[in-house]
């Protein structure tokens, strides 16, 4: 006799299968990439809901392997450089560093949203991310190792809630399943100690 949880799991798998069947099949080797061409300066019609869920980022190649990116809604900017092991000088974030950064900040953000909704103070929480690239074959990230530390001012029951909520990070759900992700939860320290050095275990 199937249990309620097994039936729920079956429905979830059936849902994913239906979505996969309805989705266009990517060509071999393109990992789901698709492209469309529109005349310069034109945009497709979008719904209000789509508009609220979209972000636009302008990327500009400035030369010598440097790029500038601007978040159009806020005007915030950042720059990238190719890394030392890939023809660059490592003078800024490498593009793959931004993916590692997205994981760390997303984990903190989803926990921060939950903490704010509950009136908890999560100030000073930190996530240190260590990224390792593959050394042979197609260039890609091999491992992301994240050490998370929450402030000691949070009681244990709140820490447990936030640890469970961290699993809802949309960036984590968007990562390729082959990527090796290591998540370490560290013992909390006083807030004044959280800004001292990396928390990544040796």
pLDDT at 46: 72
| pLDDT range class, residue 162, cuts 50, 70, 90 | very high
pLDDT at 26: 44
Judged against a pLDDT cut of 80, whether residue 79 lies above it is answered with: yes
Share of the chain above pLDDT 70, in %: 71
Annotate 116-153 with b (16+ C-beta within 10 A) or e (fewer): eeeebebebbbbbbebeeeeeeeeebeebbbbbbbbbe
Q: Please provide the CATH number assigned to the domain covering 94-196.
A: 3.30.300.20
Judged against a pLDDT cut of 60, whether residue 97 lies above it is answered with: yes
**pLDDT, tens digit, for every residue of 104-121?**
999 999 999 999 999 999
24 DSSP 8-state letter: P
Which string of DSSP letters, residue by residue, matches 48-117?
HHHHHH---EEEEEEETTEEEEEETTT--EEEEE--GGGTS---SB-HHHHHHHHHHHHHHHHHHHHHHH
**pLDDT, tens digit, for every residue of 45-69?**
777 777 778 899 999 999 999 999 9
- Give the pTM: 0.72
Paired with 181 in beta bridges are 144
Which string of DSSP letters, residue by residue, matches 141-152?
EEEEEEEEE--T
pLDDT at 47: 78
pLDDT at 185: 95
Residue ranges covered by each domain of the chain: 57-93, 94-196
Highest mean pLDDT out of 48-62, 89-103, 184-198: 89-103
């Amino acid at each position: 006799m199937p249990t309620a949880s097994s039936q729920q799991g079956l429905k979830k798998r059936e849902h994913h299968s239906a979505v996969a069947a309805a989705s266009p099949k990517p060509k071999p080797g393109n990992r789901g990439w698709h492209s469309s061409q529109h005349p310069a300066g034109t945009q497709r019609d979008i719904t209000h809901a789509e508009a609220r869920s979209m972000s636009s980022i302008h990327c500009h190649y400035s030369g010598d392997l440097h790029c500038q990116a601007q978040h159009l809604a806020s005007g915030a900017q950042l720059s990238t450089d190719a890394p030392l092991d890939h023809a660059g000088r490592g003078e800024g974030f490498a593009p793959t560093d931004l993916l590692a950064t997205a994981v760390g900040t997303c984990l903190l953000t989803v926990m921060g949203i939950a903490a704010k909704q509950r009136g908890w103070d999560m100030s000073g929480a930190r996530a240190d991310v260590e990224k390792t690239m593959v050394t042979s074959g197609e260039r890609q990230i091999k491992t992301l190792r994240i050490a998370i530390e929450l402030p000691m001012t949070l009681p244990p029951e709140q820490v447990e809630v936030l640890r469970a909520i961290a699993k809802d990070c949309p960036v984590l759900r968007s990562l390729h399943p082959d990527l090796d992700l290591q998540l370490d939860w560290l013992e909390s320290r006083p807030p004044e100690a959280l800004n001292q050095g990396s928390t990544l275990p040796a």
